[in-house]
Structure 1
Amino acid sequence: MEVEVTVRGAVPADAREHAEERIGSLDRLLDNTVSHARVVLTEEANPRIERSSRAEGEIDLNGPIVRASVADIEPIAAINQLAHRLERQLRRWIDRRTDLARRGVERAAGEWRHADFATARPDHFPRPPEEREIVRRKSFATHPLTPPEAADEMEALDHDFYLFTDVRTGADAVAYHRDDGRLGVIGPSTLDWSGESDGIVGEPSRMSGPTALQDAVAEMNMLNHRFMYFTNAETDRGNVIYTRYDGHYGLIEPASP
């Protein structure tokens, strides 16, 4: 696999070679689906940035693309983490492709197979709105992240969305899987979240300002969203409300005060 490495800042020469070797070795997991990989190594000059070595990478699978981004205190460690995250995503992609191929085998008309029940089953229990309770929990994100890092964490946990604090703006935001297959991030409507960066589509919150929890619940009851990001009027922090598998609502709040 051809690996294109771009360096920004004072990145040591051996780091470039290490990136070519570590990322290039991932082709052992694949057949001829890979055209090439791209890696960007950045060394921040600002001494205030503790994790000053950043490694970003993507592997083109002739259409689908897996991406990851990490930061560490030195470049070799960042590259090793990048290779680990990319490998984890590649293995999930391979597993999904194998599973889809297995399900796609032709069957006789009217033939039932075990997997059919899982495919037809709704994604949550259809509990009436008046019976839905709110179950609170904290976000898994314990420190500020960039949107690509939040997307990586979401992928690693196999979640549909991930609440985090954006390292650039200090605002709470949510990374999620869009219906078009791309990754998205939603933040407060008071900030400019529109556009696309690092392959992630930015969007402002559908709520124009701080929203009371009961109003967020009413919105969910009315429109039956998969999940909704809003700024909680009581805490002035970004929250995510979503429908749990048991039909109740889950409320994710930031881990940090």
Structure 2
Amino acid sequence: MEIVVVGRHTVVADRFRKQVEDKLSKVELLSPTARRVDVEVTRENNPRMAEQRERVELTVRAKGPVIRAEAAADDRFGALDLAIDKLNERLRRARDRRKHHRNHRPNAGATTTRPIDDDVLTPDNRTEPQVEAPAALAEPGDSVETTMGDSPVVIRQKLHSAEPMTLDDAVYEMEMVGHDFYLFIDKETARPSVLYKRKGWSFGVVQLDDACIGEAVAAR
């Protein structure tokens, strides 16, 4: 299994790299198909964020969904320990899910739906800042950062590959990467969809209308 450690706005010392290798030794036990782990270390230079100035993000690439965990602390070794704990928990859940799927077939019609509140993510109640369009992304995994004018706001754009999946699978994969939202292609409708967390154990789904997709393609 390959381990790739990179630093953003910081230099990563050999001592930390050795610690990463030791801490990630259990990954192959929990995920035998893991072929690579990306480790990104970011240092925040803002004095107001001293208690979370070091951030560590771990991404396991294996057969199946990407599994990610991140954490921040006042030093990168502490952030690494917190991120490792989150990662191992998600790897265990992924392993248990694989075992469950091998022994059980999903129940048809188990998912129920209801309309999403109209006051969530509507054009009338959100602002749309003017951001200069970044360079085109050519390959899945490519990313680029763009600064919004003279402000300190930075927009990061990343290109992902996607396969059609069920809503249940989308919820699972969102939890595996530790995000509050997840972009996917709905297997039943073939529509680009965004799954997002609401309060408690509630989730919402926003889908693009087929007519809008056709108009966007025609306008290119």
TM-score (norm 2): 0.51
Residue of structure 2 aligned with 1:155, choices 175, 181, 196:
175
Q: How far, CA to CA, are the matches of 1:183 and 1:3 in structure 2?
A: 32
For 1:79, the equivalent position in structure 2 comes to 80
Change (3 A) 1:185 1:120: closer
Deviation of 1:227 after TM superposition, in Å, equals 4.2
For 2:66, the equivalent position in structure 1 comes to 65
Q: What letter corresponds to residue 102 of structure 2 in structure 1?
A: A
Unaligned runs of 5+ in 1: 105-114, 134-146, 163-174, 187-224, 229-257
Contact 1:2/1:24, CA 8 A, preserved across alignment: no
Residue of structure 1 aligned with 2:184, choices 157, 178, 184:
178
Contact 2:56/2:70, CA 8 A, preserved across alignment: yes
Q: Percent identity?
A: 25
Structure having the higher Rg: 1
Any idea what the Cα deviations from partners look like across 1:54-88, whole Å, max 9, x if unmatched?
Answer: 10111111342111222111101111111111111
Contact 1:178/1:184, CA 8 A, preserved across alignment: yes
SS of corresponding position for 1:62: coil
Contact 1:52/1:71, CA 8 A, preserved across alignment: yes
For 2:102, the equivalent position in structure 1 comes to 101
For 1:231, the equivalent position in structure 2 comes to none
Greater strand share, structure number: 1
Q: How many residues align?
A: 142
TM-score (norm 1): 0.44
For 1:47, the equivalent position in structure 2 comes to 47
Any idea what the Cα deviations from partners look like across 1:195-254, whole Å, max 9, x if unmatched?
Answer: xxxxxxxxxxxxxxxxxxxxxxxxxxxxxx9546xxxxxxxxxxxxxxxxxxxxxxxxxx
Q: How far, CA to CA, are the matches of 1:155 and 1:60 in structure 2?
A: 15
Q: What letter corresponds to residue 26 of structure 1 in structure 2?
A: V
- Superposition RMSD on alpha carbons, in Å? 4.1
Unaligned runs of 5+ in 2: 118-155, 157-170, 197-202, 207-220
Greater helix share, structure number: 2
Q: How far, CA to CA, are the matches of 2:186 and 2:40 in structure 1?
A: 26
For 2:30, the equivalent position in structure 1 comes to 29
Change (3 A) 1:76 1:98: same
Change (3 A) 1:5 1:101: same
Residue of structure 2 aligned with 1:123, choices 112, 123, 126:
112
Q: Greater RCO between the two (CA within 8 Å, min separation 6)?
A: 1
